[in-house]
Structure 1
Amino acid sequence: MPQILRIGPYSIYFWSNEGDPLEPIHVHVSEGRASATATKIWITSTGKTILSNNNSKIPEKILKRLMRMIEANSSDIIDEWLNRFGEIRYFC
């Protein structure tokens, strides 16, 4: 899976097949290796984040920090999504 960021032990990445039709822009987060049951975080058109699920069971304090880091890097993440998938849809 294409890793976008690494923050400590956490990988932030896109899943290689994001659906057909393409899902709204989001990243997956897991500790260590990529997982099909990873935490999913949506990215809005303004660069804010919305937690879809916390399947990785990341502690809340750490999850909030990770979400702030994703927001701080949202323009780069959005650019990478566009380069990889060729189109962008937003959750809201």
Structure 2
Amino acid sequence: MPVVFRERGYRFYFYSDEGDPREPLHIHVYKDGVDAKLWLYPEVVYADNHGFDARTQRWIAKIVETRRDEIEGAWHDHFGTGA
């Protein structure tokens, strides 16, 4: 489960086994037993949210949008897919 980065105690990561066929580019977020999954394209949107409040969701989405290139690069590096 590669961790792409940590911010304010939140872990931003993806799973090494992201389905077969592999799901589209996305990121998981976890903190204190609460988690979410966000799609990165065509825009940053929540696929799932299991407990983050609305304010935290907005903050997470902004971080993911700001660091989308970094997340995408880590995804391609890990899965060996070209950008």
TM-score interval for Structure 1 and Structure 2 normalised by the shorter chain? 0.7 to 0.9
Higher strand proportion (structure 1 or 2): 2
Given that residues 29 and 40 in structure 1 are in contact (C-alpha distance below 8 angstroms), is that contact kept between their aligned partners in structure 2? yes
Structure 1: any 5+ residue segments left out of the alignment? none
Q: Secondary structure at the match of 2:39?
A: strand
Could you tell me which residue of structure 2 aligns to residue 53 of structure 1? 48
Q: Does 1:38 align with 2:32?
A: no
1:47-80, Cα deviation, whole Å (9 max, x unpaired): x31100102x111101111110111110111111
**More relative contact order in 1 or in 2 (CA 8 Å, sep 6+)?**
1
Within-5 A mapping of 1:15-26 = 15-26=15-26
Please give the root-mean-square deviation of Cα atoms over the aligned residues, in Å: 1.9
Could you tell me which residue of structure 1 aligns to residue 71 of structure 2? 77
- Measured in 2, the distance between the counterparts of 1:32 and 1:78 equals 25
Q: Which of structure 1's runs of 4+ aligned residues deviate more than 3 A?
A: none
